[in-house]
Amino acid sequence: MSNSVNDIFIGEYSWVNPNALIGEGTKIGRFCVIEEG
């Protein structure tokens, strides 16, 4: 699932997994940045 971030964040955020593990918090962190800016 190393490419999961790329699959989710192609240009814009597609969705956020509410069940994401702490290890996958990276995509949530990016989501926050994109959503905020």
pLDDT of residue 18 exceeding 50, the answer is: yes
What's the pLDDT band for 11 if we cut at 50, 70, 90? very low
Confidence (pLDDT) at 36: 46
Which residues on adjacent β-strands are paired with residue 10?
12
Confidence (pLDDT) at 35: 45
One DSSP character per residue, 1-37 reads -TTHHHHHEESEE----TT--GGGHHHHHHHHHHHH-
Residues with Cβ within 8 Å of residue 16, at least 6 apart in sequence? 27, 28, 31
